Amino acid sequence: MYPLGPAYIGSYLQRERGYEVDLIDLNVEPDPDRALSNLLRDFAPDAVGVSLRDAFFFDEPQLGNLQRVLDIVKQYGDLPVFGGGAGMSLYAPGFLREAPLLDAVVFGEGETGAASWLCGKPTGVWTRGDDGPRMAMPPQFLPAEQIKRPQIAWPHLDPKRYRYLGVQTKRGCPHNCDFCPEPSLVGRKLRLFDLHEVTAAVDDAVDAGVPEIFFVDTIFDKPVKHSAALLRELAKRDRLKLHMYVHAESLTREYVDLLAAAGAKLIYISVESASPSVSQAIGAPTSVQAVEANKANYERHDQIGVRYSYMVGLPEERLRDLAATFAHMIKVFVRGRLRTLPYFEPFNPTPGSALFSRLYGDAPEAYDVRRYRLYRPGWSFYFIFIRLLGRFADAVGLLWTTSDSRRRKSVENIRTANHPE
């Protein structure tokens, strides 16, 4: 997935504040350390921003990777370094405590936070105070009309290297899901982007040769009128492959026909739990009843795949609730003629969510970036199983795994292709 967040921030700093900016994605570099060193040497920045999408990859802490990047940056001078991305924003106090080379962490939208910190008047930025990390001023959210589509091609960031390119149609999340931190990051008020900006972003991706578009909105379909107008416009284009998160409640026959006409390839439906009582307890916006009520509308389109996602180990969940969730997973798998693989993972209370605040408050240990926290610790066996499954997939040559041995082979293949000598 193309790193859309850094592209938004870099474009804003360059367009609105006059900074000279360059970007790099170390995830796609055959030799990340050397690539970063070359950029720092050639570009000679005055400040560096580091984005971390997740504080943990599944349950593996990413603190070590961040520290490795910071060590390389500091080899090129005493450069001020700020962090961002959802993973670092949500766990900002923990990262500032554990990574002394990190000067600040932007919380929420990065454009205004990064710009304010660079000019010495931080808003929405965690910094170190005498009594520990603190955020003096709350984040500011840009009005929708000031959010322009980002530049996607940069000297050290080529969009052609990616299978997916993200596009936003709005920011903000009005839902009250107890388990989700999204409103704290982007605000509760929906800010709808101008449809011409959105379609232009899609055209930019197509022109760059990126084969598939992933709408990264928390929920693509809300409000339905806005998303339907966009789908009608995209239906005028040829051969688009679109991915998006949707609520099952919105999937009427008419709306699904619009999705199909626009080129929807895969829709993601977050069921969370097949137990109505658990769904109500956590404030989940999609219900299993809506999934079942509208299933015929989207299952009749063979070109649209569906990925259902669930969480287990939730608050209020009992054995019968867990059984209902797994029964529904099997049901949709069989009903989809084995074409759809339901996905689940154990519930992790995330900073910024209402449930996290009730459980842990502002206790410093709650923001520990060295240890993954499950609501029901007994589910830790799941991650052990995933690692064993990854090792097996490597051994028999399956390509869907991202375990270390497969990653090493992939890197070696890339290096050989780039440097045949």
pLDDT digits (tens, 9 = 90+) for 167-198: 999 999 988 889 999 999 999 999 999 999 99
Q: What is the pLDDT of residue 285?
A: 80
The pair phi, psi for residue 310, each rounded to 5°, is -135, 160
Whether 411 shows a pLDDT value over 70: the answer reads no
Return the half-sphere exposure (C-beta side, CA atoms, 13 A cut-off) of residue 208. Answer: 24
Q: What is the pLDDT of residue 361?
A: 87
Q: What is the pLDDT of residue 338?
A: 61
Whether 262 shows a pLDDT value over 70: the answer reads yes
Whether 284 shows a pLDDT value over 70: the answer reads yes
Distance (Å) of CA 281 to CA 41, 178, 235, 285 = 53, 8, 39, 11
Q: What is the pLDDT of residue 398?
A: 65
> Domains in the chain, ordered, with CATH?
4-135 (3.40.50.280), 163-375 (3.80.30.20), 379-421 (no CATH)
Report the percent of the chain where pLDDT is more than 70: 93
Identify which of 172, 177, 167 has the alpha carbon closest to the alpha carbon of residue 197. Answer: 167
Q: How many residues does the chain have?
A: 421
Q: What is the pLDDT of residue 400?
A: 47
pLDDT in tens, 310-366: 999 999 999 999 999 999 999 998 887 666 778 899 999 999 999 999 999 888 889
Residue 167 contacts residue 201 (beta carbons within 8 Å): yes
Identify which of 174, 347, 334, 213 has the alpha carbon closest to the alpha carbon of residue 270. Answer: 347
pLDDT in tens, 369-397: 999 999 999 999 999 998 888 788 778 76
pLDDT range class, residue 403, cuts 50, 70, 90: very low
Residue 171 contacts residue 184 (beta carbons within 8 Å): no
Q: What is the pLDDT of residue 176?
A: 84
- Written as six digits, the tokens of 49 are 């921003």
In terms of DSSP bridges, do strands 132-135 and 212-215 run parallel, antiparallel, or are they unpaired? unpaired
Q: Is the pTM of this model over 0.85?
A: yes
Q: What is the pLDDT of residue 386?
A: 87
Identify which of 216, 222, 229 has the alpha carbon closest to the alpha carbon of residue 258. Answer: 229
Average pLDDT over residues 122-138: 92
Distance of CA 263 to the CA centre of its chain: 22
Whether 18 shows a pLDDT value over 90: the answer reads yes
The per-residue pLDDT of the chain, averaged, comes to 90
